[in-house]
A and B are shown apart, each in its own frame.
Chain A
């Protein structure tokens, strides 16, 4: 099991993270990147500001990655990296990388990690629109017991 987590202000390099995952016994190397897109809910988006509680965010990344290893094998290698700050359309906000012996585990672990990150990690998005308006997106309420709830 190999886990690398990062919450950073710096641009995320998919190539650099991919290189950290390369190993001779991995038949699958799967990289997912989340990218700022130019539309959401019918509005033209120019940029997104990501805010984060960095210490807790990295802790949740680590917890989620460990869970993926428990479910899909201790031989997984994972990278979970998220960028904070103001990102323009086309910039990468999050990278999930998985290396495994076989592709099935990689696909499942990758999907699990990004879906869990979205509902458990203390990260917030403020969209900036072409009309000059900005808006913090609604999300999932965090609970002390770890349960997940869709909030307003």
Chain B
């Protein structure tokens, strides 16, 4: 029980470290009076299923496999969406198709009559409607305010997720446009624009996708449409590439520190073991107190407490006092004493055994009462109120005289290694180089795009995405060869700034498709979110395949954002993110009838 409580405590600390998802809205309660079916169908037997424990409240999502193992878990109701045409994206279009949903996930997708529907399912029928996966916007600035978007002081360590908020305007209503997943980042004037987040828009708010709070790092490698020449831009590109300089040394310092920590763990374990053995051999002896370790600058001095008496593992809290014994004042760590330090924090994924061992040692240290000592072993006590030793040794002599006496036998107490100063920017850049954090580079002109590709090659950046990339036609072959995806914006029949009048973003998707370069189409702005389907339609009008256009606003951006196993297409096992329209999505007068996100109704037109 103790272990389980502590595990929960440590788990909570870990959650806080990685950032709890932000809750912006109350859990939408399915209104019992919501008329769910289309007019042609009778009223459903059951209302829209109530959601389970929502992920946005901080608890990690329960994987379906684990849910099945809980025998007493209430089986979630089943919802069936029938549509005249179902567009799974991952497969061919299905006429008279159905999407079967249980809880948050899709159970099955197929032709009506060929897919098994559980008894008691709620059916919503749209005989002439078109069902699509929820749209995925590969880049938006929704839920950010003007100050963040214009903040030139952002750096690589900043997380956009920390600044997300509702703006109470139509930019908040992404889900009404059918968008169920979006990557939020800001096109600030800063070179490094912080780390964007993947969010799930909701009816009145949003939730940050757990594990994707820091989804990618933004880098501005473009001079923008202001008049400039190639040499000016080259200077800017070199400055951006130089951001990665010095990371080797920093990484080495980190690696050295980690190795030193491991060595410290080992040596400290030996040190403890020696004293445990010694304690076992001499009952009643006072265990040596830890010397007051002078805390390194900036570090917190570990708590000082002697080990437990005897060989028993003490209970947490104070030992019962013998009758008549006066409570002793709490002893601050003596100068020159090195109190037993905590176990170093476990790395992610530490097993239970290691956790238990570490916790055992910690509890031993915390719970140990100072034991009465014989005259020979009595250690000098400092005056009451003396502050804990936080600096060099004071007047008190070393408490562990035994160590002095048995210097020859006792292992030397190891010194806790000093950690290198924390640098969130370097941490983020290192994560980019390690492939843990994709780098999203905004580059417009061909020379900027080439500079981005050269930087990727020189720095061996595993995951890079190009944004905007108006001049991508000139480097399409290289993009295809390297598999660098491009997030295209401004895919509309709109005039470009004078400096970009030779570029044609509306025709770019067809060009990239022809060359085999991966791409997605994004709104680029919350004000254009509702026009995401029109952008895909524009691309079709300029030569892009219809299926590729639909993929460019669903599965392709999901792949770029790393959430393709959960969304982006209508497939069994994925989240029930479903968009139903009254006519084909690319028709100008197509109306959104229903939007489900994780099986919950987020938008519905009655």
Partners in one complex: no
Residues of B within 8 A of A (CB): none
